[in-house]
Structure 1
Amino acid sequence: MSRAVKPQRKALNTVLAWGMGLLIFFPILWTVLTSFKTEAEAIADPPIWFNFSWTLENYFTVQERSNYFRHFWNSVVISVGSTLIGLIIAVPAAWAMAFVPGKRTKDVLMWMLSTKMLPPVGVLVPLYLIFRDLGLLDTRIGLVFVLTMINLPIIIWMLYTYFREIPVDILEAARMDGAGLRDEVVHVLLPMAVPGMASTVLLNIILAWNEAFWTLNLTAAKAAPLTAFIASYSSPEGLFYAKLSAASTMAIAPILIMGWFSQKQLVRGLTFGAVK
Structure 2
Amino acid sequence: MAALDVRPGTRRTGRRPAPSDARPAARRARRRSAALGLLAWVAGLGFCLPAMWMLLTSFHSEPDAATNPPSLAAPLTLAGYREFFGARTGVTPWPALINSLTASVFSTLLVLLLALPAAYALSIRPVRKWTDVMFFFLSTKMLPVVAGLLPVYLFAKNAGMLDNVWLLVILYTSMNLPIAVWMMQSFLGDIPLSIIEAAQVDGARLPTVLARVVAPVAAPGIAATALICFIFSWNELLFARVLTGVVAQTAPVYLTGFVTSQGLFLAQLCAASVVVSLPVLAAGFAAQDKLVQGLSLGAVK
TM over 0.5: yes
Q: Which residue of 1 aligns with 2:29?
A: 6
Q: Is the 8 A contact 1:229 1:247 kept in 2?
A: no
Q: Give the Cα–Cα distance (whole angstroms) in 1 for the partners of residues 244 and 288 of structure 2.
A: 31
Code of the residue aligned with 2:214 in structure 1: it is L
The answer to whether structure 1 residue 43 and structure 2 residue 69 are counterparts is no
Code of the residue aligned with 1:95 in structure 2: it is Y
Q: Is the 8 A contact 1:86 1:148 kept in 2?
A: yes
Aligned match for 2:133, one of 103, 108, 112 = 108
Q: Aligned-residue CA RMSD in angstroms?
A: 1.9
Q: Give the Cα–Cα distance (whole angstroms) in 2 for the partners of residues 219 and 8 of structure 1.
A: 56
Aligned match for 1:20, one of 14, 36, 43 = 43
Aligned pair count reads 273
Q: Which residue of 1 aligns with 2:75?
A: 53
Q: Give the Cα–Cα distance (whole angstroms) in 2 for the partners of residues 154 and 31 of structure 1.
A: 30
Report the CA distance shift for 1:103/1:4 in structure 2 as closer, same or farther (over 3 A). farther
**Displacement, 1:169?**
2.2
The answer to whether structure 1 residue 255 and structure 2 residue 290 are counterparts is no
TM-score (norm 2): 0.86
Code of the residue aligned with 1:58 in structure 2: it is G
**Displacement, 1:275?**
6.1
Q: Give the Cα–Cα distance (whole angstroms) in 2 for the partners of residues 236 and 67 of structure 1.
A: 21
Q: Which residue of 1 aligns with 2:13?
A: none
Q: Which residue of 2 aligns with 1:138?
A: 163
Q: Give the Cα–Cα distance (whole angstroms) in 2 for the partners of residues 247 and 100 of structure 1.
A: 47
Unaligned runs of 5+ in 1: none
1:12-67 per-residue CA deviation (whole Å, 9 max, x = no partner) reads: 22112111111111111111111111222112122212x00111111111211532
Identity within the alignment, %: 38
Code of the residue aligned with 1:45 in structure 2: it is N
Q: Is the 8 A contact 1:66 1:229 kept in 2?
A: no
Q: Give the Cα–Cα distance (whole angstroms) in 2 for the partners of residues 241 and 46 of structure 1.
A: 14
Unaligned runs of 5+ in 2: 1-25
Code of the residue aligned with 2:80 in structure 1: it is N
The answer to whether structure 1 residue 152 and structure 2 residue 177 are counterparts is yes
**Displacement, 1:4?**
11
Q: Which residue of 2 aligns with 1:188?
A: 213
1:184-238 per-residue CA deviation (whole Å, 9 max, x = no partner) reads: 2222111111111111111211111111111111111111111111111111222
1:83-137 per-residue CA deviation (whole Å, 9 max, x = no partner) reads: 0011111111111111222342112111211211211110101100101111211
**Displacement, 1:274?**
4.1
More helix by share: 1
Q: Give the Cα–Cα distance (whole angstroms) in 2 for the partners of residues 233 and 249 of structure 1.
A: 14
Which structure: larger Rg? 2
Q: Give the Cα–Cα distance (whole angstroms) in 2 for the partners of residues 229 and 19 of structure 1.
A: 34
Code of the residue aligned with 1:87 in structure 2: it is L
Higher mean alpha-carbon deviation, 145-154 vs 228-237, is at: 228-237
The answer to whether structure 1 residue 205 and structure 2 residue 230 are counterparts is yes
Code of the residue aligned with 1:98 in structure 2: it is S
Q: Is the 8 A contact 2:116 2:181 kept in 1?
A: yes
The answer to whether structure 1 residue 245 and structure 2 residue 270 are counterparts is yes
Give the 5 Å matches for 1:45-124. 45-49=68-72, 51-64=73-86, 66-124=91-149
Q: Is the 8 A contact 2:223 2:287 kept in 1?
A: no
Q: Is the 8 A contact 1:139 1:222 kept in 2?
A: yes
Report the CA distance shift for 1:243/1:106 in structure 2 as closer, same or farther (over 3 A). same
Q: Secondary structure of 1:53's partner?
A: coil
Q: Is the 8 A contact 1:159 1:200 kept in 2?
A: yes
Q: Secondary structure of 1:189's partner?
A: helix
Q: Give the Cα–Cα distance (whole angstroms) in 2 for the partners of residues 262 and 13 of structure 1.
A: 28
Q: Secondary structure of 1:90's partner?
A: helix
Q: Give the Cα–Cα distance (whole angstroms) in 1 for the partners of residues 187 and 130 of structure 2.
A: 16
Q: Is the 8 A contact 2:258 2:269 kept in 1?
A: yes
Higher mean alpha-carbon deviation, 138-147 vs 8-17, is at: 8-17
